[in-house]
């Protein structure tokens, strides 16, 4: 388990802009350069224009020169686990191998871990286009 990564996702969740859903989410990715990039969900009054936390974290990674994800953490509150949405699972797969861990947390810490493969079985990824 990657406590530093999970703590980054929790801090990002606390900065989320979620006035419409009231459902803040934070995410953090560890990149191949060893750095951690965090993101939070940012909602918009025109609902489809919002940004998921995972998308924000991946964009920050790419902007800084990271190319591959080596671990992911997603933080959100609720009785059920907060997992990446379908679109974000695909976005994660673009930059992460199937065996990359995805840690799920709430404000109290780690709750569960899966691999990218477990969250998106038989995923279509860059290797399908090679």
User: What is the tens place of the pLDDT at every residue in 38-56?
Assistant: 999 999 999 889 999 999 9
pLDDT of residue 42: 98
Choose the catalytic residue: 54, 77, 94, 122: 54
Spell out the domains of the chain, with CATH numbers in brackets.
Answer: 3-129 (3.40.140.10)
- pLDDT digit string (tens) for 1-37? 789 999 999 999 999 999 999 999 999 999 999 999 9
Closest CA to 60 of 89, 85, 30, 102: 30
CA dist 49 to 13, 24, 32, 79, 83, Å?
19, 16, 29, 27, 20
Query: Are 68 and 32 spatial neighbours (Cβ–Cβ below 8 Å)?
Result: yes
Average pLDDT of the chain is 96
Residue 113 contacts residue 96 (beta carbons within 8 Å): no
Instruction: Examine the residue annotation and report whether 122 is marked as an active-site residue of this protein.
Output: no
Residue 127 has pLDDT above 90, yes or no: no
């Amino acid at each position: 388990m990657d406590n530093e990564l999970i703590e980054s996702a929790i801090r990002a969740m606390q900065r989320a802009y979620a006035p419409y859903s009231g459902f803040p989410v934070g995410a953090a990715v560890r990149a191949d350069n060893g750095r951690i990039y965090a993101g939070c969900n940012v909602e918009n009054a025109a609902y489809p224009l919002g940004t998921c936390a995972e998308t924000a974290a991946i964009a920050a990674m790419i902007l800084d020169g990271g190319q591959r994800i080596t671990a992911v953490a997603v933080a959100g509150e609720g009785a059920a686990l907060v997992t990446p949405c379908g679109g974000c699972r695909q976005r994660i797969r673009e930059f992460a191998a199937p065996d990359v861990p995805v840690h799920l947390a709430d404000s109290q810490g780690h709750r569960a871990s899966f691999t990218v493969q477990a969250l998106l079985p038989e995923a279509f990824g860059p290797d399908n286009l090679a």
